């Protein structure tokens, strides 16, 4: 297993739709193991392949939940169905979201409270479950990465202005920026 550098917003792979996985082989299983290792060292709860520069439809997660779903898993070529996203403003205390590809920042965002996820595990076996609450938020966040979206792309106008200011202040939005978990300081202070 290897820890990979995490791409920062502005890297092209983060802003385009990832391609479907076609082969469930040892190369895929090695990539998945590396993704888990990278997520763990980065203290993340999820990691999508584009976040380590790989444009494939894969994400891993590690999050306790109340939905009787294993707290660690992988989804390959997933699909997602959600409940309606509430139209109210997000709560800055209870709905602040962060992202390893927007290191050290957090902005409030409304998400659907329920999702149905289906896809495959690393061996090609079908996986399907429902998620609620923060676990549902995690699933939506990681799935967005596979469609070339970051959570900051979904912020309301007020929060979007704050995110654009942070982007500018951090010098992000250009290709080639990464940080390496376990070597670089943890941007979230874990």
What is the set of active-site residues? 142
Residues 115, 131 contacting (CB under 8 angstroms): yes
In sequence order, the 6+-apart residues with CB closer than 8 A to the CB of 113 are 83, 86, 132, 133, 136
**Chain-centre distance of CA 119, in angstroms?**
16
CB atoms near residue 27 (< 10 Å): 9
In sequence order, the 6+-apart residues with CB closer than 8 A to the CB of 72 are 36, 60, 61, 62
Residues 146, 50 contacting (CB under 8 angstroms): yes
């Amino acid at each position: 297993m290897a820890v990979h550098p995490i791409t920062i917003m502005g890297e092209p792979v983060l802003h385009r739709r990832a391609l479907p996985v076609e082969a469930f082989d040892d190369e895929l299983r090695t990539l998945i193991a590396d993704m888990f290792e990278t997520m763990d060292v980065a203290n993340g709860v999820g990691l999508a392949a584009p976040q380590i520069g790989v444009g494939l439809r894969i994400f891993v997660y590690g999050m306790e939940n109340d939905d009787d779903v294993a707290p660690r898993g992988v989804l390959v070529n997933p699909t997602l169905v959600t409940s309606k996203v509430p139209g109210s403003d997000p709560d800055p205390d209870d709905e602040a979201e962060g992202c390893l590809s927007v290191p050290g920042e957090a902005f409030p965002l409304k998400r659907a409270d329920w999702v149905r996820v289906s896809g495959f595990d690393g061996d090609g076996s079908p996986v399907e479950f429902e998620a609620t609450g923060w676990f549902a938020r995690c699933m939506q966040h990681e799935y967005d990465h596979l469609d070339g979206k970051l959570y900051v792309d979904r912020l309301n106008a007020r929060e979007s202005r704050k995110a654009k200011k942070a982007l500018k202040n951090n010098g992000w939005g250009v290709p080639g920026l990464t940080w390496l978990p376990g070597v670089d300081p943890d941007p979230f202070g874990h």
